[in-house]
Structure 1
Amino acid sequence: MGAVNKDHWYFMVLLILPIVKVRAQQKEPAVTLALEEGMELSCVCPWEGRLSMVSWTKGTDRDPIAVFHPDFGMSLSHQYRERVEFLRRSELDGTIALRNVTHQDIGVYHCTVHAFPQGPWSSSLQVEDLDEPPAEDEDDEVLGLEYPSPEPIDTSLDLQAQLNENLTVSCTGLPNVTVYQVIMEKRAVGRPWHIIAVCKILDGGLLTEDYSDRGSISCAHTLDISLHLVDVQPQDSGFYRCTFHTDTGTHNTTMTLSVSEPGGISLSMYMFYIYCGAGAAGLLLIIAVIIAVVRHRNRNKRIEYRVKKLYPAHRQRSKEAQAYEEVPSVRQPAVCAGAQVSYL
């Protein structure tokens, strides 16, 4: 019976954590920490009293991470099992250590210590990758802010795929440079960028962090990164960006993926058909004009030929009249009295 009550208590605590509200006057300002292996998230209540419970949540949605109770012990969310440890250096110490950290651990953490008799006390911590600050729109996503859509994105490659087919989205490192880390991100229409994979060299070895909900990630030792999609779906469409961190700086490669129905026409194919249709229409127009001109000239020749054939006498008389007009005039004889003819 006790085990049932204990499990029930864990379940109820995880349900009410996202809606727990802490008094504003007892809330400490946020502290920024660097993302690193084994990092400690400090949560030490400055009061005196007896500990009732410690709870950790993350993000604006207050997703539960861990709960500690002096009597019932510790309960962890699934993605934090074997990764979180309560240090418990003092009675009202809720500090935890986080192992096997990834870029998914970047964000805002909230700690609440319930102490008797004064009540709850809370603090917040911001975990960031200080070696490479997160992009601006990633910060906006963490804070839950919404901003107008940015300017149109310039893409270096347009990918086309049909529904339910397989596709690989690949990014190749730059030649003649040393790549230390590559981050692949995706952005759907109307959504901010989010990380789907990270490949980096750590202690001479290759570390791959796969956060993709669709497909699988593969990394080469040259830090070439690929996303393998099986049975492509409409939600796979959007922008994909690879950011290479090298000894010469940061370099980006951006691609766009369009998914069309089988047998359907994608936007690029549609525009291709439009251009081909316009070119064909222009060519047909030129041919039609040439044919009209040739027919008109042939018609005039036929008319002239018929005139020559049907009215040859008229044409002959016309020529004789023309020749007569061109002959010089002849002196006419003068008739005198006595019927003698004399020429003047």
Structure 2
Amino acid sequence: NVEAKFVDSTVKLTEKMKLDCVYPKKATIIQTSWMKSNLTYKENIAALHPVYGIHISDNYKGRIHFQKDSSEDSSLYFVKSTLEDVGLYCCSIQTFPDGTWEKVIKIIQPDAFEVPEKQNHYVFTEPGGNVTFTCPYNIGGLVQQVMWERIKVDQMDFIVLCNSLGQKSFGSDFEGRTLVDCTSKTSSMMVLQNITASDFAMYRCVVTGRNKTFAMSFTL
């Protein structure tokens, strides 16, 4: 059920869009499926198979394409998008021996996409390195959740969420390379490992209490 899962990435609708889908571990990819989740049914968009090639549904022919030379990269490129493309998408990768890995991406209308103002909190690292973000807060009362996200010009990526019980939920692209402490009541510390070029962006922690919300952003 796509709706029940966290949205891993939120993408602003533009005529040309890239929906990122790269399996984050080493495994044999058997097949990748792209679907759009409509209210009552799932619409098949495309299937990618290392032997049988790429099959694109009629509704999407001429409007989407994939990288020809990469079996690891299953990212979907829109070249002629329309307002009807707003909605929830699921990239499902069948692998051996790990099983099925899924990523949920939501395309939203441009006026609904808001990038927060940049704050002067700079963090430095190099590709391949690790980086630590610390977000101190005091919202007076019980903290219901702390969420971390990566923010780009036309895309927001969900990294991790700590709930009030100290439990963690990770975004599909960040599980396995993100460390977070969900026990502190006054600050949140997150370590992002194996930094790549696409990680140089803005980051935000959003702390939600019963009556108050606090947000702090960082630039890497």
TM-score (norm 2): 0.48
Q: Higher strand fraction: Structure 1 or Structure 2? A: 2
Q: Higher helix fraction: Structure 1 or Structure 2? A: 1
TM-score (norm 1): 0.33
Give the number of the structure whose alpha-carbon radius of gyration is greater: 1
Q: Which structure carries more relative contact order (alpha carbon 8 Å, separation 6+)?
A: 2
